[in-house]
Amino acid sequence: MFQTIVFAYDGSAECQDALEEGIALSSRFNARCHLLAVVPPLSPYFLAAGPLPEDLSEKDRAYISAILEIGLARLREAGLDATGSIRIWEAPAEAIGDFVREVGADLVIVGHHRRSALDRWWRGSVGHSLLDKLPCSLFVSMPRETPHAPRDHAADR
């Protein structure tokens, strides 16, 4: 059913959970896996602030590459065929959609990052944006840990 799977991966706990769920699914279908990290380009405001250290982008690339290597090692440890890619793009959902078309993916796996309604409104939601950008199915992995319930202060009285 799923022959090529793309993991949108940033190394966060949510993406690590999604990776583990995706490994089980990928193993079942013996799917080829792609780990994709999308990095935003430097802001023009940052660039306007003055000269940048020569190795800034190299440090960022090395950091992201190290995160991808950890994820790739986990996929390969599970016996899966996997590659990693980094894309520099303003809109992550567009980058993921374009990458999915390039590799002919059947499924995209993302981890859900719990955020406040205000934060989601302000910064948007990659997962929600993907619904309109993808030519394939989308699997959203929910965090394994449940968020802490609000404390009932009435019980303290």
Closest to 72 (Cα-Cα) out of 64, 83, 85: 83
Cα separation, 32 vs 76, whole angstroms: 11
**Is 85 within 8 Å of 72 (Cβ atoms)?**
no
On whether residue 34 sits in a domain, the answer given is yes
**Is 35 within 8 Å of 85 (Cβ atoms)?**
yes
On whether residue 153 sits in a domain, the answer given is no
Q: Which residues pair with 85 in a beta bridge?
A: 36
**Is 34 within 8 Å of 6 (Cβ atoms)?**
yes
Q: CATH number for the domain including 16?
A: 3.40.50.620
On whether residue 91 sits in a domain, the answer given is yes
Residue 133, pLDDT above cutoff 80 = yes
Reported as a single tens digit per residue, the pLDDT across 6-31 is: 999 999 888 999 999 999 999 999 99
Cα separation, 74 vs 86, whole angstroms: 18
On whether residue 40 sits in a domain, the answer given is yes
Closest to 52 (Cα-Cα) out of 63, 41, 39: 41
Residue 54, pLDDT above cutoff 60 = no
- Total domain count for the chain? 1
On whether residue 141 sits in a domain, the answer given is yes
Reported as a single tens digit per residue, the pLDDT across 57-116 is: 677 778 889 999 999 999 999 999 999 999 987 788 899 999 999 999 999 999 876 665
Alpha carbon separation from 141 to 3, 41, 103 (Å, rounded): 19, 27, 22
On whether residue 20 sits in a domain, the answer given is yes
Q: Which domain holds residue 85?
A: 4-145
On whether residue 54 sits in a domain, the answer given is yes
On whether residue 102 sits in a domain, the answer given is yes
